[in-house]
Amino acid sequence: MDKITAVKGIKDILPSETPRWQKVETTARAIFERFGFHEIRVPIMEKTALFQRSIGEATDIVEKEMYTFRDRDEELLTLRPEATACVIRAYVEHNLASAEPVTKLFTIGPMFRRERPQKGRYRQFHQIDVEVFGDDTPASDAEVIFMLMHFLDVAGVENLSLEINSLGCKDCRPGFSRAVVAYLGQFQDGLCPDCQRRLTTNPLRVFDCKVEACGRIISDAPRILDHLCPECLDHFDRVKGFLDDLNLEYAVNSNMVRGLDYYTKTAFEVKSGKLGAQNSLAGGGRYDGLVALLGGPDVAGVGFGIGMERLLACLPDTEENVGKTDIFVAALGTRALKFAFKLTGLLRRSGFTAATDYSGKSLKSQMKRADKMQSAFTLIIGDSEMDSGRAVLRNMKTKNQQDLLLESLPEALINILKSEVIL
């Protein structure tokens, strides 16, 4: 019978890898909470209309990449391709704005997009997502960017660059869009099919095209910064001022757009020199008006998302504490096994990683398993040790051994492990 394998583009995260994931997630939670953020956990599946309305029906995500299906009652459902819309849906549905005027939330979990799998890009991928609702000030933008860069620094990511831009608002962006369409219309035949389509559906998305021929044409296209209204220009200048106050290095990239329709004003992206051509590690920006669009109050919003797989690819290879055991109990014989079962349970309750073998294998086989589990100590106990009232404790690193009395064995082991093993 043929074995069943994982779906293409969806990978397992094996026990040897999970400690690195856990370390990054623990770091994120600690830093975000320090900035006043609280974790929210939202479903991986939502009504399709949520993403059609928030992301925009003319985007590649909605048109090509979403995993969408009809439920038995004919309701159209989608596996979430991004988290912002999900968090907003929960924020609105549970009226979180009534509890706190400025609400700071983060979530960590899997997202789903049906695109060609490649290094650092999977059909099931994971994101760290951060959102702030109810604060429309430039200081909030700068604080979110600062927290992002601080987290990446503490997580151990090096060779980073921060790019920022302003995407304008509903007052100044239409004029910019018309200018872009008028300019690109002169070179329409030289654009790729996707960009030709975008000219009528979503003109600003042409700036994100990776086709070399399109890039040459776009390099001379109008710039959004030349079309900002006074309010958006002032907002962007103040964001830059706050970043300067925090001594954060950044570059203004007037060609940068975000891949989702809902962004307004400040947009930002963090790139890593370790990721090659697909070098975007994290990105986000302001999305004033999106909460109201999804049926909530008319409050401002700003946030970012970090690709976990890409972040981990940027981290240096380190040996994490994978599968290491504080003590292995090598038990030989029925009485010894019964004693070992009770002893390992007590040691685990005391906070130590303890293991034993119930199969009755030879001492040599059990010592090999203790080595494989990188056990700091091995306790050897068989029928003769049960009769003599003593067990042998072996330090697996130094190979030194000592006899311990069975009647006081738990207390003695706990004291030894406390002095030798970091809890």
For position 258, what pLDDT does the model report? Answer: 66
Query: 109 near 137, Cβ under 8 Å?
Result: no
Strand ranges of the sheet holding 280-286, from the earlier edge strand across to the other edge: 38-39, 103-112, 124-133, 301-307, 280-286, 264-272, 160-166, 251-252
Query: Per DSSP, which regions of 288-324 are E strands?
Result: 301-307
The residue behind tokens 């925090």 is: 246
For 283, the enclosing helix (H) or strand (E) is strand 280-286
Please name the residues in contact with 37: beta carbons below 8 A apart, sequence gap of 6 or more: 104, 105, 106, 130
For position 423, what pLDDT does the model report? Answer: 45
DSSP state of 408: G
For position 380, what pLDDT does the model report? Answer: 95
Q: Can you give the pTM of this predicted structure?
A: 0.85
In a 13 Å sphere around the CA of 9, the CA atoms on its Cβ side amount to 14
Cα–Cα distances in angstroms (integers) from residue 96 to residues 88, 105, 109, 184, 381, in the given order: 10, 10, 21, 44, 58
Q: What angle do CA 162, 191, 59 make, to 5 degrees?
A: 60
d(CA 68, CA 273): 35
In a 13 Å sphere around the CA of 42, the CA atoms on its Cβ side amount to 30
Candidates 205, 167, 207, 203; CA nearest to 182 is 203
Kindly report, residue by residue over 35-86, the tens digit of the pLDDT.
999 999 999 999 999 998 888 766 667 777 899 999 999 999 999 999 999 9
Structure tokens at 138: 């430039």
Query: 103 near 277, Cβ under 8 Å?
Result: no
d(CA 147, CA 163): 15
DSSP state of 276: T
The residues of the chain scoring below 70 in pLDDT are 57-60, 118-120, 258-261, 276-278, 318-323, 421-423
Strand, coil or helix: what is 122? coil
For position 60, what pLDDT does the model report? Answer: 65
Strand, coil or helix: what is 383? helix
**Residue 289: other Cβ atoms inside 10 A:** 16
Query: 246 near 267, Cβ under 8 Å?
Result: no
Which long-range contacts does 96-99 make (Cβ < 8 Å, 24+ apart)? 96/133, 97/133, 97/134, 97/296, 97/297, 97/299
> What radius of gyration do the chain's Cα atoms show?
28
d(CA 161, CA 209): 20
Query: 391 near 385, Cβ under 8 Å?
Result: yes
d(CA 3, CA 161): 44
Q: Are strands 160-166 and 124-133 parallel, antiparallel or unpaired?
A: unpaired
**What type of residue sits at position 127?**
Q
